[in-house]
Amino acid sequence: MKRTLLALAAIALVMAGCAKKDAKVGANGKAYKIGITKIVAHPALDACEKGVQDELAARGISATFDLQNANGDVNTATQIASKFKADGVDAVVAIATPTAVAAANSIKDKPIVFSAVTDPVGAGLVSTLERGQGNVTGLSDKTDVLQHLAIFVRVAKIKTLGYIYTSSEANSASARADVEAACAKLGLKLVVQSINNSSEVKQATETIIGRVDGIYLTTDNTVYSALPALVAVALANKKPVFSSDTTSAIEGGCLIASGFDYYKAGRATGAILADVLAGKKPEEIPVKFLTDPSETDFLIDLDVAKQCGIEFPKDILESASKVIENGKLTTK
* Domain spanning 28-141+262-292: CATH superfamily: Response regulator (3.40.50.2300)
Q: How far is residue 10's CA from residue 122's CA, in Å, rounded to a whole number?
A: 60
Q: What whole-number distance in Å separates Cα of residue 210 and Cα of residue 147? A: 25
Inform me whether the pLDDT recorded for 200 exceeds 70.
yes
Domain 145-261+294-331 sits in CATH at 3.40.50.2300
pLDDT at 69: 97
Confidence (pLDDT) at 3: 40
pLDDT of residue 29: 67
Q: What are the residues facing 141 on neighbouring strands? A: none
Q: What is the DSSP string of 188-200?
A: -EEEEEEESSGGG
The reply to whether 145-261+294-331 shares the fold of 28-141+262-292 is yes
Q: State residue 295 phi and psi, 5-degree precision.
A: -95, 0
**Phi first, then psi: what are they for 40, rounded to 5°?**
-160, 160
DSSP track, 220-275: -HHHHTTHHHHHHHHHHTT--EEES-HHHHTTS--SEEEEE-HHHHHHHHHHHHHH
Give which of 219, 162, 155 is closest to 188, Cα–Cα: 162
By the 8 A CB rule, do 52 and 89 touch? no
Residue range 216-229, pLDDT digits in tens = 999 888 999 999 99
The β-bridge partners of 281 are none
Q: What percent of the chain has pLDDT over 70?
A: 91
Least confident of 1-15, 39-53, 231-245: 1-15
Q: What is the pLDDT of residue 28?
A: 57
User: What residues form DSSP beta bridges with 29?
Assistant: none
pLDDT at 240 over 50: yes
Domain ranges in the chain are 28-141+262-292, 145-261+294-331
Each residue's pLDDT tens digit, 260-305: 889 999 999 999 999 999 999 999 999 999 878 777 899 999 999 9
Whole-number CA gyration radius for the chain: 23
Q: Given this model, what pLDDT does residue 143 score?
A: 87
